[in-house]
Chain A
Amino acid sequence: MPAARFPYQTCATCRDAAGGDVPAIEIDDLCVAYSDGPELDAVRGLRLRVPAGTHVAVVGPNGSGKSTLLKAIAGAIPAHHGTILVHGQPVAACLHRISYLAQRSEIDWRFPVDVTGLVKTGRYVHLGWFARPGRDDDRRVHAALDRVGMAALARRQIGQLSGGQQQRALLARALVQDADVFLLDEPLNAVDGETRERVGEVLRDLRRAGKTVLIATHDVGRLEGDYDAALFLSDGRVVPAPHEAFGGAEAAMVTAAAG
């Protein structure tokens, strides 16, 4: 795929730099907090190592730091302290390898844009300044909408979708970014059965394609079987699994410890 001529942020080395053994995500002693807000939802001294191709659930109650962790890895908020490496590169170095699916509440759904337009913004990271989406971008957008079962609603204004449909539109946008690491913030929160099913299918696709996935949820009950490991957060720190659903075998895949 041709690189953007005027990228929003240049990245020189990333595509070829990833060697076989480099973990997809490597976090050391990470501290993140919003500058002014309450101490809620901060991350305090977190260490994490996620091998490429693993699917990890990030579990914890509201305010435990799940969203903050994902945002910091995505580069949406800066780290106060510590390091984050994505495929061996600092966060800002290769933004197009990361696909971040925000919570629904962070988008202005009344804005006059249709589903296709929303999904197309997932291609912008490859387009950069001045370039317009082309035929190839349209094709990818269409395929992604098909995958999440939203092709019939492609022309609908985003505010006229149900919660589950909005979530699937966002998932389609995450897919067209063509990334290696997927950070999904509560994609299963308050959605309908069809959306759950579609999200499950997409996750299986991603696993087959060898993509790394971090998925935040507070819905522990539905995790079993779908993930390689779970990371339990409480008050910004990693805590042991609260019940027996996750045995010691998974812990070997992801090594995490409170700092």
Chain B
Amino acid sequence: MSLLLEPFELGFMRTALVAALCVSACCATVGVYVVLRRMAFIGDALAHTMLPGVVVAYLGGVSLLLGAALAGVGTALGIGWLSRRDALREDTAIGVVFTALFAVGVLFMSTVRSFRDLSSILFGNVLGVSESDLLAIGVVATMAMLFAIVFHKELELTSFDPNHARVIGLRPERVRYALLIVLSFTIVAGVQAVGVLLTSALLITPAAAASLLTDRLSRMMLLSVAIAGLSSLVGLYASYYAGVAPGAAIVVTCTCLFGCAWVLRWMRSTRVGRTSAFPSGR
């Protein structure tokens, strides 16, 4: 028991835990829609395009979170604009925009002598989250969860039947833009915890694992949040006791849980296959 509690006697570990849990909760919730709407690529792209925003903010001495948020929202709107009316296919537009912005970010980075602060952007630094960062993460997490709850029925309908949404006057493009903006902020929070390079894992992997285990949307969200939260906890223990990078430890734990979900599903499908010729409707 003391082994479990010991790490969190330290103030920075407590802050890290709260931050990681907040990030897990909002990433995992929004991530369910990202997975169901096949937006995994755009999620990854948004995380990468934070880089120039962050570097510019660092050079200008303003809040890194603000820089990241602006870059993210800008990318979301830019991709939507480039792929409007099908001038370019969306995945092509994403490919062009995100690599360009990431390259610009790296260019800026190479003008900075010390990489130490910026490496935490690439790999995350959940152990170094300040109080103001924690506040920002808390606000983002609350906002993202509220968005998912309040607009649940619109998000759901535009995900599986955008045509019906359109004929009842609910414009699916607007819902999509709103989701992209919330996604940008969520990713900003995720970058704090696991960094630019691994944030999409926190978005996709828990949601994907949950989607293997249930075909109810609400259950999928709860499971996804539980999986991400558990990964954060285990990841922090690993970093405390084994001295490994916490961001990477969180993502690796997440992936292990995804593997468990895969095995569970496989076991369930073989059992159902043996007992009845038809899959149960439940």
Question: Are B216 and A132 in contact, CB atoms less than 8 angstroms apart?
Answer: no
Q: Which of A92, A111, A124 contacts B170 (CB 8 A)?
A: A124
Q: Does A35 interact with chain B (Cβ within 8 Å)? A: yes
The answer to whether B281 touches A98 (Cβ under 8 A) is: no
Q: How far is the CA of A208 from the CA of B214 in the complex (A)?
A: 42
User: Which residues from 87 to 145 on chain A have a C-beta closer than 8 Å to any C-beta of chain B?
Assistant: 92, 95-96, 98, 100, 102, 106-109, 111-114, 117, 121, 124-125, 127, 129-130, 132
Q: Is the CB of A129 within 8 A of B154?
A: yes
Contact B168 A8 (CB under 8 A): yes
Instruction: Find A98's partner among B160, B167, B170, B220 (CB 8 Å cutoff).
Output: B167
| A36 vs B256: C-alpha distance when bound (angstroms) | 45
- B153 contacts A by Cβ under 8 Å: yes
Q: What are the residues of chain B within 8 A of A117 when measuring CB–CB? A: 156
Interface assignment of B157: CB less than 8 Å from any CB of chain A: yes
Additional A-B contacts beyond A102-B163, A111-B160 (5; CB < 8 A)? A9-B168, A9-B169, A75-B167, A102-B161, A107-B163
B residues apposed to A, CB below 8 Å: 36, 85-86, 150, 153-154, 156-157, 159-161, 163-164, 166-170, 211, 214-217, 220, 279, 281-282
- Given that A107-B160, A108-B161, A112-B220 are contacting pairs, would A74 and B167 also be in contact in the complex, using a CB cutoff of 8 Å? yes
Tell me if A7 counts as interface (CB < 8 A to partner B): yes
B161 touches A121 (CB 8 A): yes
Q: Please tell me if the beta carbons of A8 and B170 are within 8 angstroms of each other in the complex.
A: yes
Report how many residues on chain A are interfacial, defined by Cβ distance under 8 Å.
37
Q: Report whether B281 and A160 are in contact in the complex, using a CB–CB cutoff of 8 Å.
A: yes
Whether A102 touches B164, Cβ cut-off 8 Å, given contacts A8-B170, A9-B169, A111-B159, is yes
CB-based nearest A residue for B36: A111
Tell me the dominant secondary structure on chain B's binding face: helix
In the A-B complex, the 4 residue pairs with the closest CB atoms: A9-B169, A111-B160, A8-B169, A156-B281
Find the residue from B153, B157, B164, B282 having the highest chain A CB count within 10 A.
B164
B215 interface neighbour in A75, A112, A173, Cβ under 8 Å: A112
Q: Which residues of A contact B282 (CB under 8 A)?
A: 155-157
Assuming the contacts A108-B161, A111-B160, asked whether A76 and B167 have C-beta atoms less than 8 A apart, the reply is: yes
Which A residues lie within 8 Å of B163 (CB)? Answer: 76, 102, 106-107
Query: Which A residue's beta carbon lies closest to that of B159?
Result: A111
Quick check: B168 and A96 within 8 Å, CB to CB? Answer: yes
A112→B160 CA distance, assembly (Å): 9
Query: In the assembled complex, which residues on chain B have CB atoms less than 8 Å from the CB atom of A124?
Result: 153, 157, 168, 170
Query: A153 contacts the other chain (Cβ, under 8 Å)?
Result: yes
Q: Which residues of B contact A125 (CB under 8 A)?
A: 168-169
Closest residue of A by beta carbon distance from B279: A160
Contact with B along A6-35 (1 / 0, CB 8 A): 011100000000000000000000000001
Closest to A159 in B: B215
